[in-house]
Amino acid sequence: MRAARLGLRRRAAGWWVLLAVAVVVIGANSVLARGSASHEVASGGSGPSGPSGPSMVRARSVATQEFGLLSGGGWGQAWALWSATAQAAMSEADFVRLNTGCRPALGEPYVVDSATDEDATDVKIAWHQGSTTGSSTVVFEGGAWRFQPDAQTLAAYRGGVAAVVAERKAAGTCH
């Protein structure tokens, strides 16, 4: 009987420890979230906002999602995250055709090095993939953050698939 009570006490103590850890983790996340929001305000960001308003965290998330899709070959899904300006530069079908016909290196992750508020609706994203570096912008339009490649890339896309493929082949970046 005494052994059974001791076992119940140990299990109960284990549950209390688990509950305490959960409370600490939730509390820490709450503090970190508040710190992140106040950092955005201090850095000129939009600060905490409602679900439909701009936020640097959401902008950075869109860039991370875009880069993940590009690294994994999700061309159509990556194009769907583009801004209206970017989508006007090249159609989804052409973007998919470009990247399947002249495949970039897959599996090598893009790393977001920094995200900087340009203004309330533009966040500049500095990134690298291996030894290649670049910057892009995430813009807030139509109530959502949208990815926008840099101006040089958009200009190349406006030249058409054949021109971009020729440029990539000359640079040795088709795999």
Domain extents in the chain: 1-42, 56-171
CATH code assigned to 56-171: 3.10.450.100
Angle between helices 2-42 and 56-72 (to 10 degrees): 100
- Give mean pLDDT in consecutive 10-residue pieces for the chain, a chain of 175 residues: 56 42 34 37 38 72 95 96 97 96 88 92 94 94 95 96 94 87
Q: Which helix (H) or strand (E) holds 135?
A: strand 132-141
Look at the pTM and tell me if it is higher than 0.85: no
pLDDT at 98 (0 to 100): 96
